[in-house]
Amino acid sequence: MKSLEIDVFLCRSDNFGVLLHCPDSGLTACIDAPELEPILAAAERRDWTITHIFTTHHHGDHVEANLALKERFNCEIIGPRNEAVAIPGIDRTVGDGDEFAFGKHLVRVIETPGHTAGHVCYHLPEDKLLFSADTLFALGCGRLFERSAIDMWHSLQKLAELPDETIVYFGHEYTLSNARFALTIDPDNSRLKSRAEDIEIMRARGDFTVPTTIALEKETNPFLRANDPDIRRTLGMPTESDEDVFAEIRKRKDNF
Ligand code: ZN
Ligand code: FE
């Protein structure tokens, strides 16, 4: 079985478009559909025919091109059961723990309520891949539009429990601002400091910061580290619950 191939490109101003291609079966999934033209350009450049869209959540910057791609490719749109009514052209709904095949590759659905009520991430355990969209970013997490900080903390914990080596593709290039914020929360974390320096250089060159890994996020992403004693000391919250510390970090980021 050949490895899956991935093409990442920018859509809109800071959304990532991602095409996931299985060379054995010829299938190609578009992870969300932020903008038609760059998606078509990537598919043409690679000579891939889009057969699926894996939708993570209903926001316009993730579903805008659903109907146009469906019209063009007659692709199957898979998306979250808990917000299916808001997803244009959805064919098949999925929920937590559901599994389906993409060629011979297993895809597992992880529900991660927080950013939206029904947000799902797509995990390919055998390929060690996670598509986390607007739940987990490099050094960040999604804003809480439809669910509480408690819900988001538990959603992020599900992702943190995945194997360290899992490669994570996320929804937005917010990493530079996330890095600058993370340093205010976790200023003595040497791994974070060197990562932030790398990110400054990458972004100055115009390079994308996607993908990341679960291991790297656990070491440096303050939104996964609400139980860290140094962060708690910085926030003056030594004995509060992890959920409360997480909520405080999220609130500070909203105002950063
Ligand atoms: Zn969103
Ligand atoms: Fe988004």
Question: Which tens digits make up the pLDDT trace of 174-207?
Answer: 999 999 999 999 999 999 999 999 999 999 999 9
Crossing angle of helices 175-185 and 190-204, in 10° steps, is 160
Ligand nearest to the CA of 13: 2
* Spacing, Cα 205 to ligand 2 middle (Å): 23
Q: What mean pLDDT do residues 54-69 have?
A: 98
Q: For residue 1, what pLDDT is reported?
A: 87
Q: How far is CA 73 from CA 15, 17, 120, 170, in A?
A: 22, 17, 24, 25
Q: What mean pLDDT do residues 123-139 have?
A: 98
* Spacing, Cα 35 to ligand 1 middle (Å): 14
Q: For residue 76, what pLDDT is reported?
A: 98
What is the DSSP track for 46-92? HT----EEE-----HHHHTTHHHHHHHH-PEEEEEGGGGGGSTT--E
Element (H, E) at 9: strand 5-11
Across the chain, mean pLDDT equals 98
pTM to 2 decimal places: 0.98
Q: For residue 220, what pLDDT is reported?
A: 98
* Spacing, Cα 8 to ligand 1 middle (Å): 18
Q: What mean pLDDT do residues 9-23 have?
A: 98
Domains of the chain: 5-254 (3.60.15.10)
Question: Which tens digits make up the pLDDT trace of 140-162?
Answer: 999 999 999 999 999 999 999 99
The two three-digit tokens of residue 134, written as one number:
């607007």
Q: What mean pLDDT do residues 214-235 have?
A: 98
Q: Is the pLDDT of residue 128 over 90?
A: yes
Interatomic CA distance for residues 192 and 179, integer angstroms = 8
Greatest CA span in the chain, whole angstroms? 55
- pLDDT over 70 for what percent of the chain? 100
Question: Which tens digits make up the pLDDT trace of 99-122?
Answer: 999 999 999 999 999 999 999 999
* Spacing, Cα 14 to ligand 2 middle (Å): 9
Residues contacting residue 241 through CB under 8 Å, at least 6 positions apart: none
Question: Which tens digits make up the pLDDT trace of 159-169?
Answer: 999 999 999 99
Q: Is the pLDDT of residue 242 over 90?
A: yes
The two three-digit tokens of residue 74, written as one number:
């007659």
* Spacing, Cα 84 to ligand 1 middle (Å): 15
Ligand nearest to the CA of 114: 1
What region, left, alpha or beta, does residue 59 occupy, with left being phi > 0 and alpha being psi -120 to 50 degrees? beta
* Spacing, Cα 114 to ligand 1 middle (Å): 10
DSSP 152: H
Q: Is the pLDDT of residue 256 over 90?
A: yes
